A and B are shown apart, each in its own frame.
Chain A
Amino acid sequence: MDLPIVLYDRDEYIETDTRNKISRKSIISGPANIVLGGKTIVQSDCFIRGDLRRTVGVPGAGAGGGSVAVALGRYCVLERGCVIRPPFKTYKGVFSYYPVKIGDFVHIGSNSVVEAASIGNGVRIGKNVVVGRFAIIKDFVRILDGTVIPANAVIPSFSLYGGNPGTFIEELPESVPELFEASSKEYYEKFLPAS
C-alpha cells in the first residue's frame, strides 16, 4: 500500500537549507551541538537534548564546547513525542555524556525514547520503544512497537527485535535495504505543507 500523504501546517514547521523540516512545537536544546544530515523530519513534541554534551576537560571533547552531541543522517523521521538523549556514564570517576550517532533512513515511532550510543542506517524503531543507554543498533534493523532494549545491548544487522526485554525474533530478508530506503524517501516526499 502506498504511504498516505501527510499534510502539515506550514507555519508550524521550519525548513532548513538542507531541507530538514522541524516542528516549532519540538524542544531542541543546544542546537549548536545537533547535526541533521538533510531531508530529516522532526515532528511536534519531540525533545532533542543537544545540551547534554561532553563536559570540557574530558579527552576528546572539543575546546569550549564545539563537540557534536546528537548527529542524525539523511531522510530520518522523528515522529511526535520522541526523545533523543545522549547516554551518560561515570568513567574513572568523571561523569560525562557521550554523543549519539544516528545514520540515514532511520524512522523512530511516536513516544519512543532513544539513549543509544549509535544507530546505523535503515533502522525502523516502532512506537513507545525504549532504547537503553549505550545500546548499539547496527544497519537494517526493525524494532517492534513497545520494545525495551536494555542498556549496552548490541543488535546486529538484518534483525527483527521485539518484547520486553527486547529479544531477537527473526532475520529480515535481504531486500530490506532497498525497501527501507524507498519508504523513507516516499515518506519525505509525501510530507507536504497544507494548501
Chain B
Amino acid sequence: MIEESQAAKEPSHPILYSCSCNGSIKPSSDVATGPTTALFPLSQLYFCDSCTDIRCPLCTSEEFSGYFCPNCLFDSVTIAVKTEKARCNRQCFDCPVCFSALAVVPVPLADSTGTAVVLSSTATTKTDSEAPMSYILSCPYCRWDSSSLGSDWVFDKPTGLAARSNAVASQHPTNAEFEALRSHFEKVLAANTETGTPYAPSNSLTASLTSAITPDGRQGADPKARPSSSSSLVVMRVSKLLAKASAKKGISTKPKEVGDFQSTVTWPHPWTYETEQDDSVAERERAAALSDFGITSSLATRVLLSEEPLSLNSQLRPQRTQLRTKRIRKCRSCQNILVRPENKSGATKFTIKMIGLKYLPSITVANPAYAYRSASPKLFLRIANPYDDDLCVRLSSSATTGVEFSATDIVLKGLNEFGEYPAPKAGEKFPPGVVDQRENWAVVEIGGRLVESEDSATDIQIRIDFSPYSPDRTTVAVSPVGSKKGRAEGTFWIVARKSPVVLENDAPDP
C-alpha cells in the first residue's frame, strides 16, 4: 500500500501535507477546514494545475505506458506482455531460492543422462572454444544452479532459454489446469456478454487483455476431458456466485451453451498426507529431509512460485523475471495528466511532471541551531518558495489549538535556479517575527500552548495560504482553491508530528 511505503514510515518526514481527498479516491473541491486523514510527505504529492489543488497517490489514477525487464532493461510490447504473462521473454530468470538474477554459464557437456553436470569454479570464466559446451542457469549469490533439475534445464545454446522453459512449464499440471480454467471462463464471459449481463469487460483494456490471453497457440487446455474433483468444485462455486448475482438483476441465470468445467488433472485430496499413513521409504525420507531447514524451501518461495507448494529447494524451478511498468499518472477528478514518463526503459526523464515539490511552498523543520536562542521548547519551520516570482505566505491555525506564530504573513523571494542570490548584508534586519531569511526561504518560530505542552502525542496543525506577491498588497488574499488556472496560489494544511520536531533544551550543543 502507498500509505505504508518505506518513505512515509521514516522519521525524516516530520512534516506531512494534507490532501483534500480525505483518503477517498474522489478528490474534494471544498476548502479544507482542517487537515484530512490523507497525509503525505511533500515528495509524494502532485499538483493538478487545472483543478489548482494538491493530489496524492490516493486521488490519482495510473495507466500503463510501457513495460520493461528490470534485469536486461529491454522494452516489451503490449502483445508480448500478454502472451508471456508479463515475464521477460529473453534470458532473464530469477533464482527460485534467493530471487537474485540468474546468470547463464557454460559448462562442459553433460553425460548422456544430462544430470551429472559438475560446475567447476573455472567454468564461468575460462572456456575452451573447441570443447562442446552446454549451458545452465547459475545464481551468483547462493550458488544454486539448474543442473540439479535434470536435462530440461541444461541447454545446448545460451539463447532462447525462455522458449525452452516455457515448453517445460506448460507441461506442468497446474499450468495446464490454469489454462483450461481460463479458457472455460473465457467462454462463460463471452456467453454472458452476448446476453448483456454485467460480467462483460468494463473497458477496452480488459477486453483486449481477455482476448489476448486465450490459449491460442498452446493447447494444453482442452476443456472436454476427464472429470476431476477440486477444480470443478471451484468452478461450481464461481458459477453459483454468477447465478446469484444475475438473479438479483433479473437476468437469465445459466450462461447459454457453456457446460460445466471438466478438469484434465486429478489432484490428491489436500489432507491426504495427514490422514493416510504412508510408510514407503521415499515418503519417510522426504519427511526426514523436511526437518533440515537448509534444504527446505522458504515461505516466500512457496508463496511466490506459481506452481504447487514444493517443500524442498531441490524441487524448485527458476522463474522468468517479472516485467516492471512505466506509468502515466492522472488526476481522478479532471483526468489531467500529472506525470508522463518517457517511454524508453532507460530514460529517466518525464515529458510531464506536475509534482508537489515544484508547486507548493516546501515546509521543513529548520536546523536545530535556531532552537538554542529560546528558553522554552519551540518549533522552527523553514518555508521555501518553489516559484520564480515572489510569493506571499500566510500561516494560521484554528484558534482553539493555542498555536502561536512569530510572523503570520511572510514575503518570500523568487527561486533562482542557479542559486545566484545577493550576498546577505551585514546587520541586515529581517521583517518582524522572521528568525532568519535568505535566498528563497524564511524561518519562522512556532510557539504557544500546544507546542510547549508535555503531550507529545498531539500533532501541530497549521494552515498555509499562498498567493503571488504584489508590491501594493503585502498580505495574502485568501481565495478559494481552484480560482484561477495555473496561478501560484492555494490553501493547504500541514501536520507537524510533534515528537521528533520540537527540540528539548537539554540537547547537546552543536
Contacts and interface: CB of A to CB of B under 8 A. Distances in A.
Contacts of A159: 70
Contact of B14 (A1, A93, A173, A185): A1
B454 to A, nearest CB: 22
A140 B338 CA distance: 20
Interface in B413-449: 419
Contacts of B7: 172-173
A89 to B, nearest CB: 6
A154 B101 contact: yes
Interface string B304-327: 000000000000000000001000
B166 to A, nearest CB: 22
B366 A2 contact: yes
Nearest to A148: B141
A150 B365 contact: no
Interface in B428-480: none
Contact of A175 (B43, B71, B142, B365): B43
B236 interface: no
Interface stretch (B203-211, B224-232, B241-249, B344-352): B344-352
A89 B14 CA distance: 46
Contacts of B298: none
A150 B100 contact: yes
Interface in A8-25: none
Contact of B357 (A156, A157, A179): A179
A2 B382 contact: yes
Interface string A150-190: 11111111111000010111101111111100000100000
A109 B5 CA distance: 22
A64 interface: no
Interface string B196-225: 000000000000000000000000000000
Contact of B367 (A2, A152, A158): A2
Nearest to A1: B365
B393 to A, nearest CB: 18
Contacts of A132: 140
A157 B139 CA distance: 23
A4 interface: yes
Nearest to B345: A156
A170 B101 contact: no
B382 A5 contact: no
A195 interface: no
Interface in B63-81: 68, 70-73
A173 B382 contact: no
A156 B237 CA distance: 42
B140 A174 contact: no
A156 B324 contact: yes
A139 B382 CA distance: 29
A4 B345 contact: no
A156 B350 contact: no
B353 interface: yes
Contacts of A158: 348
Given A156-B70, A175-B355, A178-B355, 15 more contacts: A4-B510, A5-B369, A89-B125, A132-B140, A138-B73, A139-B348, A148-B141, A150-B141, A154-B70, A156-B345, A169-B6, A174-B350, A175-B42, A178-B357, A179-B43
10 contacts: A2-B365, A2-B367, A4-B368, A139-B348, A150-B100, A153-B101, A156-B68, A167-B100, A173-B7, A178-B357
Interface of B: 5-7, 12, 14, 42-44, 68, 70-73, 98-101, 103, 125-126, 139-142, 324, 329, 339, 341, 345-346, 348, 350, 353, 355-358, 364-369, 382, 419, 500, 510
Q: Which 6 residue pairs of A and B lie closest in terms of their CB atoms, listed nearest first?
A: A150-B141, A90-B125, A2-B367, A165-B141, A151-B140, A175-B355
